[in-house]
Amino acid sequence: MIEVVYALWRRDMIKFLRDRRQLITSLTRSFIWLLAFGLGLRASVRIPASGTDYVSFLVPGLAAMTVLFASMFAAISIVWEREFGFLKELLVAPVPRGAIVAAKILAGSATALIETSVMLLLSPLVGARFSPLGALASLPLLVLFGMTVNALGIIVAARMKSFEGFGAVVNFVIQPVFFLSGALYPIAGLPRGLRVLVLVNPMTYVVDAVRGLCIGHHEFPLLLSTAIVVASALLLAALATRSFRRMEA
């Protein structure tokens, strides 16, 4: 069982590392965000209360964003594999469905971890200042968040019949989760309606906790945020296994 999970995990990793062009794209994607948003808004945005500069404020949000995108794309690869037939080979093999889901989630989290680490390492180049130890301590939280998103992606993928629905996933899943998370702005001064949406979004707590660890600026107790991140990871992993079991090739 462990060997099968490892073999399937390794397969996704080989493919991630093998395609150089795609590798470079995914490693630089969020750094470009940091350049455009961070440098673009640094002059005109000041974070109230703490007075942190915007680039440093943005880095934890973009770290979570990187994980969000990478994990979601990794999970959606299931749809790709169904279109191109490989999924059938997996479904007809004497492998527990849970092992396939576990391998997908672990591989998606691993690639997300690599991408977000690269972004964190590059960010001082554009003037981001944060605690290196805090960033290191954030990684487990980011990995857990990656697992959550991956599981969500698998649930979505199990219902998608073709790749044509992918745009809808970006519009109705990735973008709302990202924009309503406080990754780009502090949530303290938000209007009430928007604040409610932000508060039910698990990504909010990831961003808040990572920001707390990196630059000491946070809204919620670290313990609460961690508990929410862990709980949502467990819940979605269970749901993902269930929906994968029901999926037919």
Partner 1 sequence: MTAAIEVVDLKKSYDAVEAVRGIGFTVRAGEIFGFLGPNGAGKTTTIKILCTLLQATSGTARLAGLDVAASPNEVRRRIGVIFQDPALDDRLTAYENLMLHAVAYRVPRTERRARIDESLQFVDLFERRQDLTRTFSGGMKRRLEIARGLVHRPDILFLDEPTTGLDPQTRARTWEVLRGLREKYGTTLFLTTHYMDEAENCDRIAIVDHGTIVALDTPAALKQRVGKDLVAARTADPAGLAKLLSEKYGLPSTPADGGLTFLVEQGDAFIVKLLTTDRPALEGISVRRPTLDDVFLSLTGRQIRAEGAEGTAAKIRAMVRRRAG
Question: By CB under 8 A, is residue 20 in contact with partner 1?
Answer: no
By CB under 8 A, residue 21 contacts partner 1: no
DSSP for residue 123: G
Name the minimum Å distance from CB 96 to partner 1.
Answer: 8
Distance of CA 21 to the CA centre of its chain: 21
Question: H or E segment at 235?
Answer: helix 222-246
Using the rule CB under 8 A, is 18 a contact of partner 1?
yes
CA gap 204, 185 in Å, rounded = 11
C-alpha to C-alpha distance for 62 and 45, rounded to whole angstroms: 17
User: Could you count the other beta carbons within 10 Å of the beta carbon of residue 190?
Assistant: 16
121 binds partner 1 (CB under 8 A): no
CB burial of residue 55 (10 Å; 0-12, 13-18, 19+): buried
- The angle subtended at Cα 135 by Cα 67 and Cα 225, nearest 5°, is 70
67-106 residues in contact with partner 1 (CB under 8 A) are: 81, 84-96
* Site membership for partner 1, residue 129 (CB under 8 A): no
Residue 155 binding partner 1, by CB under 8 A: no
* Binding residue (CB under 8 A) for partner 1 from 19, 32, 196, 238: 19
Q: Quick one: which segment of 13-21, 45-53, 64-72, 210-218 binds partner 1 (CB under 8 A)?
A: 13-21
Q: Which of 7, 24, 168, 238 binds partner 1 (CB under 8 A)?
A: 7
Residue 49 touches partner 1, criterion: CB under 8 A: no
Q: Which of 21, 48, 162, 191 binds partner 1 (CB under 8 A)?
A: 162
153: number of Cβ within 10 Å: 29
Residue 23 as a binder of partner 1 (CB under 8 A): the answer is no
Looking at this protein, which amino acid is placed at residue 64?
A: A
Smallest separation, CB 108 to partner 1 (Å): 16
- Binding of partner 1 at residue 245 (CB under 8 A)? no
CB of residue 28 vs partner 1: minimum separation in angstroms? Answer: 21
Closest to partner 1 by CB, 85 or 189: 85
Closer to partner 1 by Cβ: residue 106 or 144: 106
Residue 234 to residue 229: CA distance in whole angstroms = 9
Beta-carbon contacts of residue 138 (< 8 Å; ≥ 6 apart):
60, 63, 209, 210, 213, 214
Residues that bind partner 1 (CB under 8 A): 3-4, 7-8, 11, 14-15, 18-19, 81, 84-96, 161-162, 248-249
